[in-house]
Amino acid sequence: MPPRTSFATFLCSLAALSAGFAPRAGAQSQPLEVMPAPAEVRVTGGRLPVAGRLEVSARAAGAADARLDAAVARAAGRWQARLGQPGGSPVLVSIECNSPGAAVPSLLEDESYSLEVGASRVVLRAPTVLGAMHGLETLLQLPQRDRDGWFLPLASIRDAPRFPWRGLLIDVSRRWKPQEVILRNLDAMAVVKLNVLHLHLTDDQGFRIESTTHPELQAKGSDGAFFTQAQMRSIIAYAAARGIRVVPEFDIPGHATSWVVSHPELASQPGPYGIERQWGIFNPVLDPTNEATYALLGDFLGEMATLFPDTFVHIGGDENNGVQWSANPAIQAFIRERGLGDNAGLHTYFNGRVEATLARGGKRIVGWDEILHPGLPASSVIDSWRGSEALASAAEQGYDGILANGYYVDLMHPAAEHYLADPVPAGSALTQAQARHVLGGEAAMWGEWVGPETIDSRIWPRTAAIAERLWSPQGVRDAADMYRRLWIVSARLDEAGALHLRNRDLMLRHLVGENLQIPGIGALRTFISLIEPVKGYRRGELQVWQNQLVPLVGIADAAQPESEAARRFSESVDRALFGAGAVDRAAAAALAARLAEWQAAGEEVAGSLCPAYPALREALPGAQGLALACKAGSQALRCVEAGTPIDAGALADCQAALAQAALPNGSATELAVMGPVRLVVAAASLQADRPRLSDADWRARVAAAAAATAPSH
């Protein structure tokens, strides 16, 4: 799995915010607010005023097309809600498609389009309806506003995706996510041109799809929470109408507890078994030596091949710890008799049997890295959680693959970290032919720590940065500009139905009751805006009592994965401390005042709200820590403002306060401002050295001193 975030990662992300990329030929001459960034943009100057509704004429190969008409209607509705003035002149849009494209979206479909915004009308051209739908999403992001009102910048756009597989995995197995969650996230996916919904449907904690050939699977393995086949057909149709493929995952042979609850005879050790409520790697694994295993899989996978029209079926294949196989003498004898070598060889044997079953239904298997062993069928696709090097190795062996490593949005890493991960990094040793085996990647929303109320906030808006990485040219890597556009596209995602913004008040009500007019609610909002859930897998270490049945309504669930307020503060600190030639003392004074405000908010939450509201009591260490950290940072910034090095005693007190503020706490949250506050404390202690150091040496010196005081997790 991806490494946990450290202070060094914070410094790398900070450096990335200042890094730009060389403009490509035909690049835009003024910034657009579009995400993903188009392949080619030329802003020609001038504007098309926006004062009314969209008036669209659309044809696919000279005829009306129901899918295109529906896309136009959705776009017009969103346009009207944000921009429309009933009495204004309409914006004229002409859409020309060469063909309707495939009724069921395909990996090979042409998704390109061109968009011409002229002085009197907009012309959108595309080879297929899918390309036209992408162009409509770009058009919806183009309007800008100034003192003269809304307008479209006159521009010429030529656009096509870098990769054909741009996915989002949603795990509905560990914690159930009903149909409405999936549908609204499909709408959000379309906004940023993601085109694959990977549904993780079975795992140790739940079997989430109806089987008519073996109804006992969902009857005993789901607690009654699963998609009926009618619901799944509705999801597939909804996705297809938005140009999105649905790829199901049935995790086998490991992560199989929910299978063997109803069929213990198919496990590699005797049962009985019950649904797992905790998280982790568990021993139950299907028995590849039992022909009854393949009989059931043949029935089930044949049924699913009919239900799911996509070419690909994900079989998981990860994290089989081998305990049951190694402990079963009959299985080990089977390995010897068949010359399979070891458990890995048995896994390859199993994959071959499953691949043959799916091939009869016209399907190709996708699996995690662990399925890649000698003898794996050449048509298999590797979904790599291990990283771009493992993906490249698969490509060198002739296997198609997609990247998931670096895109695990459940780990709460910042958008910049996801943004700079690349399926084919610059400088890759892959030949052009080998690189074509890399189909793209997918954001992964694993389900241990998300429920229907919080999942949108964990996916969006950070996944828009991943969508840009998978769509836009490789050279589009300006993290600062990505963030500029990320918070704008966040509002567009909200317009499309995502609940990442609207559910923030819902989570606050879980903490203080229904009344959000209580005294101190402003301080609570400030506090929540400055904390983040802990990164990586630390929440499970800090909240060992959590399980599938415990509701997600705590402080960590109300916090956002990435604090916008803290990130903007970090940028301001960077400008104040590391400007050319000197520290900006006036800016230091403004930053000190901001920290004083945040200190007051922390003190109010700790002193007034935490004692009054039981659900907030777990926030007490964090609120006290915020007050301590902000007081230390403000003191250091006052020294920076005065140009006077902080004295040794005050420095020791500041560092002790920061160490206290950084201690792990039961709420499984961390203060998002700790990195920049450490920088200002370090700068205050070293500022006497600033006049004799180059800009680069000063930055490096302060960063090293700050990193030395950061705890390691």
DSSP 61: T
Q: Is residue 179 part of a domain?
A: yes
Q: Is residue 19 part of a domain?
A: no
CATH code, domain carrying 466: 3.20.20.80
Which tens digits make up the pLDDT trace of 283-334? Answer: 999 999 999 999 999 999 999 999 999 999 999 999 999 999 999 999 999 9
Q: Predicted confidence band at 12 (pLDDT cuts at 50, 70, 90)?
A: very low
Q: State which of 479, 496, 513 marks the end of a domain.
A: 496
DSSP 560: -
Q: State which of 444, 478, 496 marks the end of a domain.
A: 496
Question: pLDDT: is 191 or 19 the higher one?
Answer: 191
Which tens digits make up the pLDDT trace of 152-161? Answer: 999 999 999 9
Question: Which residues, in sequence order, are bridge partners of residue 384?
Answer: 403
Reduced 3-state DSSP string for 328-362: CHHHHHHHHHCCCCCHHHHHHHHHHHHHHHHHHCC
Which tens digits make up the pLDDT trace of 549-584? Answer: 999 999 999 999 999 999 999 999 999 999 998 999
Task: Look at residue 86 in the predicted model and tell me its pLDDT.
Answer: 67
Peptide bond into 461 cis (omega under 30): yes
d(CA 579, CA 591): 15
d(CA 263, CA 248): 21
Q: Predicted confidence band at 6 (pLDDT cuts at 50, 70, 90)?
A: very low
Whether residue 430 sits in one domain with residue 538: no
Whether residue 180 sits in one domain with residue 329: yes
Q: Is the pLDDT of residue 648 over 50?
A: yes
Mean pLDDT of the chain: 93
Catalytic (active-site) positions? 319
Q: Is residue 146 part of a domain?
A: yes
d(CA 112, CA 573): 41
- Residue written as token pair 């006290």: 624
Report the percent of the chain where pLDDT is more than 90: 90
User: Considering its fold, how many domains does the chain have in total?
Assistant: 3
Q: Predicted confidence band at 13 (pLDDT cuts at 50, 70, 90)?
A: very low
Whether residue 322 sits in one domain with residue 456: yes
Question: In a 3-state reduction of DSSP, which class is residue 153?
Answer: strand
Query: What is the span of the domain harbouring residue 226?
Result: 165-292+302-496
Question: In a 3-state reduction of DSSP, which class is residue 192?
Answer: coil
pTM for this structure?
A: 0.94
Q: Is the pLDDT of residue 234 over 60?
A: yes
Q: State which of 446, 464, 496 marks the end of a domain.
A: 496
DSSP 614: G
Rounded mean pLDDT of 24-39? 70
Distances (CA, A) of 254 to 249, 366, 385: 13, 15, 16
Q: Is the pLDDT of residue 19 over 80?
A: no
d(CA 460, CA 445): 11
d(CA 197, CA 166): 9
Whether residue 182 sits in one domain with residue 321: yes
Which tens digits make up the pLDDT trace of 592-610? Answer: 999 999 999 999 999 999 9
Q: Predicted confidence band at 656 (pLDDT cuts at 50, 70, 90)?
A: very high
Q: Which two tokens stand for residue 255?
A: 């992560």
Which tens digits make up the pLDDT trace of 405-420? Answer: 999 999 999 999 999 9
Whether residue 192 sits in one domain with residue 154: no
Q: Is residue 20 part of a domain?
A: no
Whether residue 106 sits in one domain with residue 59: yes
Task: Look at residue 605 in the predicted model and tell me its pLDDT.
Answer: 98
Q: Is residue 297 part of a domain?
A: no
Q: Is residue 4 part of a domain?
A: no
**Exposure letters 681-693 (e unless 16+ CB within 10 A, then b):** bbbbbbbeebeee
d(CA 164, CA 167): 9
Whether residue 130 sits in one domain with residue 86: yes
Whether residue 368 sits in one domain with residue 262: yes
Rounded mean pLDDT of 127-138? 97
Whether residue 538 sits in one domain with residue 476: no
Q: What is the DSSP string of 451-470?
A: -TTTHHHHHTTHHHHHHHHH
Q: Predicted confidence band at 102 (pLDDT cuts at 50, 70, 90)?
A: confident
d(CA 300, CA 308): 12
Whether residue 516 sits in one domain with residue 480: no
Whether residue 541 sits in one domain with residue 441: no
Whether residue 488 sits in one domain with residue 357: yes
CATH code, domain carrying 72: 3.30.379.10
d(CA 495, CA 475): 29
Rounded mean pLDDT of 81-93? 83
Task: Look at residue 478 in the predicted model and tell me its pLDDT.
Answer: 96
Q: Is residue 197 part of a domain?
A: yes
Task: Look at residue 100 in the predicted model and tell me its pLDDT.
Answer: 86
Q: Is residue 492 part of a domain?
A: yes
- Residue written as token pair 């009933």: 86
Q: Provide the residue count of the chain.
A: 713
Report the percent of the chain where pLDDT is more than 70: 95
